Amino acid sequence: MMTRRIMHIDLDAFFVSVEQVLNPELRGKPVVVGGKPDRRGVVASASYEARAFGLHAGMPLVTARRLCPQAIFIEGSFPRYRETSQRFMAILADLSPYLEPVSLDEAYLDVTGFESIHGSIHQMAVNIKQRIKDELGLPSSIGIASCKVVAKIAAELSKPDGLLKITAGEERSFLAPLPIAKLPGIGTKTERILNGLGINTIGELANMPLSTLKSHLGVFGEFLHRHANGIDDRKIEPPSAAKSISRETTFGEDTKDRSLLEATLQYRGERVGADLRKRDKQAKCITIKLRYADFSTITRRRTLVQATDADQTIFDTGLKLLKIALSQERQPVRLIGIGVSNLTEAGRQLDMLDSSAQKLEQLNKAIDRIRRKYGFTAIQSGRTLPLKDIFPQSDNGYTLQTPSLSR
Ligand code: DCP
Ligand code: CA
């Protein structure tokens, strides 16, 4: 079989870099996107100058200010990042159809056999970086390897403004000296378990007997063992029609406040419903997701008898699931999310004969029309009103804490 050539392309300090294009005075300075430090919240993106002070994504803004008082703190604008992301993906799609976007600023390209067009894969990567710089003004980093996991780690190590190619056959020796935390999927919990087994580097993980890893980590151990050995046969999967739609919010501060949790769930549920209707889809399955203060994460789902695209049904179902979940767990909540799956084309359902379902459909259509014209928060249900005091607003809705997008 032909050795694959996979590229992982990731924009450097994405949110910050977009702000620096808009305002060149911010270049070369410690800059943080995430909000003003007098507001609760966390760093979404830090410039490399700010990282020199120890700042990183996920750090509370107050801590960031303490470590680096001279940093410039910016609220940021999610719609702008989304638009930039679309232009970034369009450049990549122009170069290869085998494109898999992973997050707003990160994608894999399968470029196996593209030498004939570009001279070499290395040259192709140089060209991609140049186009991203010329057309978007943004710095990027690219890793090239025979599989996804090695390409991703190579891109990460090459940052900022890097390009690192791992020759086929050298995957294991490239990974071996790296700390295990560099392996995607290893969070603090897994790291601790592995450290407890005397494993600190990816090489040590690769050499560990599979049975030992499986007894401690189950199938996940097997997955990590393969990756540590530079073996990863996951394909590049071009985005297909969405199989699910979801929205989630990480709170600046963990919360037990019922009305805040319900308001956020409703707001997020409405965004999901609007998205469903925009795509002319209905969903049969509603899922909520909760991450607690200790980072443990649960999902709860319910399948409906009839597929729906109504905000009210999505939220009511989510609320029932939320109430059950909260009665079982007393910890504060760090993240709340709601999603729908099992999507079908929005056909006229039989129970449309039922006039209450028909009224709901008309109501939601009217709400969508008004929101398209005047912005998402032009219409609000009573329950989401408390969000007004907590999150800044824009035409596009509330500027909620963006969840971690790539981890
Ligand atoms: N992001 C976020 N919250 C996080 C992590 C990231 O909102 N906890 C957002 C802001 C980032 C963007 O996602 O700009 C991309 O995430 P990356 O992890 O790729 O981080 P950066 O692009 O900022 O930096 P890097 O140069 O390390 O890729
Ligand atoms: Ca990035």
Query: What number is the average pLDDT over the span 11-32?
Result: 98
Distance 43 CA to ligand 1 centre (A): 9
Backbone angles phi, psi at 335, to 5 degrees: -140, 140
Nearest ligand atom owner, CA of 15? 1
Mutation probe of ligand 1 site: the residue of 10, 12, 14, 32 with most atoms within 8 A of C-beta:
14
In degrees to the nearest 10, what's the CA dihedral of 278, 280, 281, 286?
Answer: 30
Angle at 309 between CA 305 and CA 311, to 5 degrees: 105
Nearest ligand, CA 84: 1
What single-letter DSSP state applies at residue 113? T
Sequence-distant (6+) residues with CB within 8 A of 137 are: 17, 21
- The answer to which of 54-63, 79-88, 304-313, 347-356 has the lowest mean pLDDT is 347-356
What is the band of 347 on the pLDDT scale with cuts at 50, 70, 90? low
Q: Which residues are in the CB-under-5-Å shell of ion ligand 2? A: 10-11, 14, 105
Per the prediction, the chain carries an average pLDDT of 91
Residue type, 173: S
Specify the pLDDT at position 353: 54
Whole-angstrom Cα distance, residue 42 to residue 119? 44
Question: For residues 192 and 383, what is the distance between their CA atoms, to the nearest angstrom?
Answer: 41
The residue ranking higher by pLDDT, 396 or 54, is: 54
CA angle centred on 296, ends 291 and 300, rounded to 5°: 60
Kindly report which listed range (184-198, 265-279, 314-328, 344-358) carries the lowest average pLDDT score. 344-358
CA 399 to mean position of chain CA atoms: 16
Specify the length of the chain in residues: 407
Overall average pLDDT of the 51-61 stretch: 96
CA distances, 123 to each of 117, 146, 298 (Å) = 10, 17, 45
User: Which atom of ligand 1 lies nearest, measured to the CA of 106?
Assistant: 19
Element (DSSP H or E) covering residue 270 = helix 258-278
What is the Å distance from ligand 2's center to 345 Cα?
A: 35
Position 374 pLDDT exceeds 90 = no
Query: What is the 286 CA–ligand 2 centroid distance (Å)?
Result: 31
Task: Give the residue, out of 11, 400, 405, with the most ligand 1 atoms within 8 A of its beta carbon, to mutate for a pocket test.
Answer: 405
Atom of ligand 1 nearest to the CA of 15: 14
Q: Highest mean pLDDT: which of 16-20, 34-38, 297-301?
A: 16-20
pLDDT reading at 391 higher than 80: no
Q: How far is the CA of 289 from the centre of ligand 2 (A)?
A: 25
Q: Using CA positions, which residue lies closest to atom 21 of ligand 1? A: 13
Which of these, 339, 365, 355, lies nearest to 280 by C-alpha position? 365
Contact 125, 164 (CB under 8 A): no
Residue 406 has a pLDDT of 28
Question: Ligand 1: which residue has its CA nearest to atom 17?
Answer: 406
> At 354, is the pLDDT very low, low, confident or very high (cuts 50, 70, 90)?
low
Q: Is the pLDDT of residue 350 over 80?
A: no
Range of lowest pLDDT (12-21, 232-241, 390-399): 390-399
Asked if 61 and 73 count as a contact pair (C-beta separation under 8 A), the reply is: yes
Spatial distance between the Cα atoms of 282 and 343, rounded to a whole number of angstroms: 6
Pocket of ligand 1 from Cβ distances under 6 Å: 10-15, 44-45, 57-58, 105-106, 159-160, 402, 404-406
- Global model pTM greater than 0.85: no
**How far does residue 85's CA lie from ligand 2's centre (Å)?**
11
Average pLDDT over residues 305-331: 94
The residues assigned a catalytic role are 106
**Nearest alpha carbon to residue 380 among 267, 244, 262:** 267
Specify the ligand 1 atom closest to the Cα of 58: 8
Among 290, 10, 228, CA closest to 128: 10
Residue 393 has pLDDT above 80, yes or no: no
For the ranges 108-112, 222-226, 281-285, 378-382, the lowest mean pLDDT is seen at: 378-382
Structure tokens that stand for 199 in this block? 């494993």
pLDDT (mean) for 340-365: 74
